[in-house]
Structure 1
């Protein structure tokens, strides 16, 4: 199957609009991707004609909503190639998923002096929950740095695993540098040492095929708003044996079977970890989004984005006054950069916006990485399957205007 980017673009209505009198060039998909019409329609239809609460009702609308909501579990299992849909916990996104593991799995098993291994590239969502355990239980966070190109040597992660290590928690793809991490090698070695592995798949799942069984990971978190689905949707894959080790994270709603004055009986997993009324329509929308991108083929998307990355790299490398952070050979189409001189990332972003080019500016929820690189902030252009070489050219033209203004 060939990849037709113009046909894909036609599925995203927002890409046809103008910003500041210029055609929109949306290069902020690493923060949140835009939504195809099929997802927008599914959300609108669910709210307009099929909305009801799920699980507890016996009437028609509740049954319809429950069936559509629960079917998404199977869609996500297929998307990640999980062994069973019962290994999929539905939630609001990666942040909730990682916190669930921190509170439900790690907290009861860790005591002062125990260690969690992280890379310096982690998003705050995969840092702050472990700081909670550091503050409250005295656990130790061990950091593994990247090299000058932004690559993460898997052996350095493996070497950081010691007798006190209880978990490796690592990104599959850096949201700042675009670096891809060899989580399969890390997981194999960690398991040989009896240490489970949690992977933040927020960025990777949208850019390349993910097979959690092949990777062998224990936990794999994804978030819907980066996967062309609604915000407030997501899931975490939890291997069955790890799920059996977990205590509930939040109490209430569907996570219980019976509640009495002196005892509570919990529901079976995965619903044991899904308290309260969920994001019903958001989750339905996520299922539609995943069906949409699977229909295009994740391998096709990855190949197209790699070609776009190569074109963008060749163009950006020609700007000798542009400093691109992260030069990994097999990086994703994510480019964080600064301009030589005193221009702040926020000023650069503002100028680009005047040309209709939307990029992210700041620390990208990765402050430890920024401190490691010695940079207060960068601009980030993150490409998606609906971007084109014309978008790259528009970015370069806008950057040349920035250079003229700030030189």
Structure 2
């Protein structure tokens, strides 16, 4: 009997990975995000698969999307899990806490990765792996980037004091989290942070600060044959603190054209081929699924004026760049562009008010089953919602974020 694929959105994955606890309890905000955005996987799920979500708030919305865009994904609730057999489960990210949760819901042990496999995956998700990979990606003078795994207090102090500005990172942390921006002075606050992170995670990552002009990523996928294959680019935006803010919805060719304004396309080709080899070598025996490598274009005072930082982060999990890639390639007219965004509105009713205003201001326009322009919420929005996932599409080729 063919396996049924089941998708699960667990955005607390990075936090669970950092904690390493089998009974990890995410903060209330992460639990709310997981509940309110539970349907997000319908936009990247395979045809005929299921998404784990409560039916009460999601079923009507999913039926509307099935009619509007021909989605062939259905909903499965937690009570239904125990009676299902032969499931191929695909969470946003694998960790021992989500494994425990699935076991508690009645999933058989043989359908899940072992604790040993997940501990290996946690080791590979440690930012020291990105530090180790980075020198192998310095292919010529169009590339830049240094990163250091520092394990001793004297190394932390020396690194901070030897740079006018630098960035310290926790080796395991959520996207845009676990970052400490330093200005040349090793303060008691920074020292305390380093001691805490170092005792929990073995050390601290130290990086110089670069003059960034673009954030982008290369996305890869392994189907279990041990080989990672390039599946596309994502171009995204981060805030001043480094937290993810949103993705552009444009074609792979358009992203490559954007990047070629800074560096020759041949350099991107070389990097892509090198990464396929390196990722397969390092992670092919440990991980199947999507993998994203975050990168930057950086400006320099001397020639070449623009260079690629080829490995800011490695995400051994599903990521928003892959969601954006699927959204554009599957559902958006080829001559349209847009933005994909996740929003948080802490005050009651704010998300609902923003949703209704955008729906009225940007009505949806479709052609041949694809979105040409307008606003579309990617999950249902209610008066009590705090989180939204949405896209805004324009027929103008100059749509920017």
Q: Normalised by the shorter chain, which TM-score bucket?
A: under 0.3
Q: Which has the larger share of helix?
A: 1
Question: Higher relative contact order by CA 8 Å / sep ≥ 6: 1 or 2?
Answer: 1
TM-score relative to the length of structure 1: 0.26
More strand per residue: 1 or 2?
Answer: 2
